[in-house]
Amino acid sequence: MTDDHSEDHKGRLDKETGVHTTGHSWDGGSLEELNNPAPRWWVWMYILCTLWAIGYWVIYPSWPVPGGEARGAIEGTAGYSTYKELEKSQAEITARQAEYLGAFRSASYDDIMKSEKLYKFATTGGATAFKDNCATCHGSGGSGGPGFPNLNDDDWIWGGTIDDIEQTIRYGIRSNHPETRFNMMTAFGKDEILEPEEINQVVDFVLGISKEGGFEASAAKHPDGAEVFAYNCTACHGEDGKGIREMGGPNLTDAIWLYGGDRDTVYETVYGGRGGVMQAWTDRLDDDTIRQLAVYVHSLGGGE
Ligand code: HEC
Ligand code: HEC
């Protein structure tokens, strides 16, 4: 190894290029570094970038300081910070919401239905709250599933006006709230109210209503079942089987089933009863959200 930085190499004029060397040699002789200046454009870029950086430091928050104005950095002459931007746009949103919320709070459901702006405000807020709180049971579009009613159709167990829906949401169904909707399907088999024979008869009659041409036609075909029905079922499902809302007894004459319309499922319902539970939302959601939800559910298609 030779000494790369020896004096006699430094500043040597390279004859072939006419440029001085830096005195830096890799192999002790032939392979040397020429002392070319950096290209001018590069130098200018360098200077410009440096100036830009200095300007940036002055104008925008840059140097970190504990507890600075811009939360951890010096503020800069522009007084700009992304936190401030965020606060500003949040304040705008809150102000816009407050403008709607004030009108929404003092409006009746009638007013809301008549005002395009308030209706949109309610259904938009309701849709979000529905996804967060209700979709787990009722499905994201409210189409339900076995035991969880479809909220899109016009078949309502407990009522489909906005006020009905609000009450259902607020106090729940068979919830632990004192004002809950509470009636439930009796377990006719398990509680030995009916003989298995009678259960089979009434199940055939109930299936016949929707599948064999209606209430009368089924009664003519299954007279024993119709009799069992008249004695045991009309209190909650109505004389005509069309359901009684105050009792929560669903309409048995349509093709819409809460639990299912095949024979085994209907037998199971009559034998063991049901009693699906929906919690009361009055202590979990604020009034505004509950009212938004009521309007939203009503808007899903089947509202009355
Ligand atoms: C834990 C499951 C569950 C959740 C969560 C739930 N529900 Fe329900 N919901 C039910 C059940 C079960 C019923 C039907 C009870 C029955 O009558 O047998 C029901 C019934 C309803 C009804 C009455 C339908 C009718 O035909 O009368 C409405 C309206 C309703 N839910 C709205 C909501 C809204 C709005 C939310 C969200 C805030 C919600 N539900 C959250 C389980 C749930
Ligand atoms: C005390 C009131 C009450 C009586 C009496 C009653 N039901 Fe019900 N029934 C209900 C309720 C409430 C439901 C809704 C399901 C629940 O309990 O969650 C229901 C649901 C049903 C369903 C399921 C409907 C569906 O869409 O899946 C069938 C079927 C049914 N009842 C048949 C009968 C028959 C048959 C009788 C008579 C033997 C009878 N019910 C008597 C209250 C009653």
For residue 88, the one-letter residue type is: K
Give the per-residue pLDDT at 64. 82
**CB-ligand 2 contact for 266 (6 Å cutoff):** yes
What does the pLDDT look like over 140-166, one tens digit per residue?
Answer: 889 999 999 999 998 999 999 999 999
Residues with Cβ < 8 Å from 153, sequence gap 6 or more? 256, 301, 302
CA of 202 to the centre of ligand 1 (A): 28
Separation of alpha carbons 84 and 92, rounded Å: 12
How far separated are the first and last CA of the chain, in Å rounded?
A: 97
**CB-ligand 2 contact for 270 (6 Å cutoff):** yes
CA of 275 to the centre of ligand 2 (A): 9
| Contact indicator for 269, 199 with CB cutoff of 8 Å | no
Give the per-residue pLDDT at 10. 63
Ligand lying closest to the C-alpha of residue 289: 1
Tokens (6 digits) for 228: 């069992």
| Contact indicator for 102, 94 with CB cutoff of 8 Å | no
Residues of the chain with pLDDT under 50: 1-7, 9
Separation of alpha carbons 207 and 226, rounded Å: 11
